[in-house]
A and B are shown apart, each in its own frame.
Chain A
Amino acid sequence: MSSSVDAVALSFERSWGRLVAGLIAWCGDWDLAEECAQEAFAAAVTAWERDGVPAAPVAWLTTVARNRARDRMRRRTNEAAKVALAHADASDEVAPVDDEDIPDERLRLIFTCCHPALPMPARVALTLRTLCGLTPAEIARAFLVTEPAMEKRLVRARAKIAHAGIPYRVPPPELWGERVEGVLAVLYLMFNEGYAASSGDSLLRVDVSREAIRLTRSLVELLPGEPEVRALLALMLLTDARRPARVRDGHVVPLEEQDRSLWDLDRITEGARLLDADPPWGPYAVQARIALCHDVATRPEDTDWPAIAELYTLLPATPVVELNRAVAVSQVLGPKAALELVLPLADDLSGYYLHAATLADLYARLGRTSEAADALATAIEQAPTGAERRLLRARRESLLHG
């Protein structure tokens, strides 16, 4: 691979979102912005090979993309194209010479992609497409839907932005808190989907959690005053640090059985540094601290369970949080005390495999083997991926015959 191809690939990874965000701000047309950004990168492959990599790659790409866009707008005759042309002509037409001349419009783009008027799956897809530059085919594979279905989801989302009048802007102060929270929810969902899929059955799926980390990292730079953005990045890094040990031979390895020497120390250090030492801590900061408690324990028995149980009380008491708190309580006060917390959650968490799996674990520790086996059978039925089902089956086998 020649160095100019590498340079284009690197530019794509670093600058796709910034290029598209700037183009949308310039012409107001999402489809056109994406098409022309794509063409600019395609043109860069030959031009950079021939003339060398420009000193200001983003400015170079922006100029090429704008020229293509202008050509297309002139050729098109429909109303939307005329509006876009007028929009573009009204704004600054001086060709940017320096990357610093291009304002970073990514914040506007991310707040628009994550607008609460869009359905959640559309927010995730749109963010991955326009900010991360994933193709519809890649996003479709990541979420196990067909490519035409993903294309349709993206088209509908863009149409909704246009028709419902979702503004392309950073929200005003009165909406700030709520909208930042919305953006973080999208990023965290993206990370979790990717993390769960990393144990899935397909190696072809792009790594969505890596994209989520990359984007959250940019957001930390773009929103330096928001502690929860930093906390979310910390939570992602502190969770992702355990990824190398999480799957072995296609099996999910539970935390207490993981080879802790495989955990990524750099990620743990970076994650820990991002956290504020003193409360008040938001929900992401609390979850990051819980992850950190696990990450710093060299052996499972070194885990500071009382601290974890305490941290869970700082989170809103949803059924899933209560379930996790019960696991910590079982380590501090024993399985009997934990069982009293887990049993009442049965209605709220029916269908959630970790409820059944936790019940099974507590029954087993209390010597109630047949109840444990029944609960494991339920958990196997409800488990979302093959890797998790295999783990639970193995556990049931060893319970009954081990």
Chain B
Amino acid sequence: MRRSVAERGGAEAVADAEPEDDGEDDIDRWIADAGARRLYGWPLGSPDRAVTVRRVDGRTVTTDGPFAETKEQVAGYDLLECDDLDDALEVASGHPVAGGGVIELRPLWR
């Protein structure tokens, strides 16, 4: 069963996910522990680098942002393939972001 993991955290957690940060060792350890259960994933750039696109009346509208008003933001994602929810919870709970932020687990749509 495949599911995606979204890492959400405050601004600090996003900073933690930046590649130059010390957090890299922790992530590497987590990836090693997850083994074949983690298929792929990547940290996301900060929301101030976001661009939004929509289609309105056949026209493409591109804007800068959005800049989330809320403190929580998606800091990264991973795709897991696990036997069941308990297995996925075990993998996700070991993620470094689970320590300060929140990990949201969702099954892929089927």
A150-192 interface bits toward B, Cβ cutoff 8 Å, 1 = contact, 0 = none: 0000000000000111110001100100000000000000000
How many angstroms from the CA of A172 to the CA of B83 in the assembled complex?
A: 14
How many angstroms from the CA of A167 to the CA of B84 in the assembled complex?
A: 6
B85-110 interface bits toward A, Cβ cutoff 8 Å, 1 = contact, 0 = none: 11111000000000000000001001
**Once the chains bind, are B86 and A171 in contact (CB under 8 Å)?**
yes
Residues of B within 8 A of A (CB): 1, 3, 82-89, 107, 110
Residues of A within 8 A of B (CB): 115, 117, 163-167, 171-172, 175
- Could you say which of A163, A165, A171, A175 contacts B88, with CB atoms under 8 Å apart? A165
Point out the residues of chain A lying under 8 angstroms from B85, CB to CB: 115, 117, 164-167
Smallest CB separation, B79 vs chain A (Å): 15
By DSSP majority rule, is chain A's interface helix, strand, loop, or mixed?
loop
Smallest CB separation, B41 vs chain A (Å): 19
How many angstroms from the CA of A165 to the CA of B85 in the assembled complex?
A: 5
Point out the residues of chain B lying under 8 angstroms from A164, CB to CB: 85, 107
Point out the residues of chain A lying under 8 angstroms from B84, CB to CB: 165-167
A117: nearest chain-B partner, CB-CB = B85
Point out the residues of chain B lying under 8 angstroms from A163, CB to CB: 107, 110
Point out the residues of chain A lying under 8 angstroms from B83, CB to CB: 165, 167
How many angstroms from the CA of A175 to the CA of B85 in the assembled complex?
A: 13
Smallest CB separation, A398 vs chain B (Å): 52
Smallest CB separation, A65 vs chain B (Å): 25
Point out the residues of chain A lying under 8 angstroms from B1, CB to CB: 165
11 A-B pairs, CB-CB below 8 angstroms? A115-B85, A117-B85, A117-B89, A163-B110, A164-B107, A165-B1, A165-B107, A166-B85, A167-B83, A167-B87, A172-B86
Point out the residues of chain A lying under 8 angstroms from B110, CB to CB: 163
Point out the residues of chain B lying under 8 angstroms from A172, CB to CB: 86
Smallest CB separation, A78 vs chain B (Å): 14
How many angstroms from the CA of A293 to the CA of B88 in the assembled complex?
A: 45
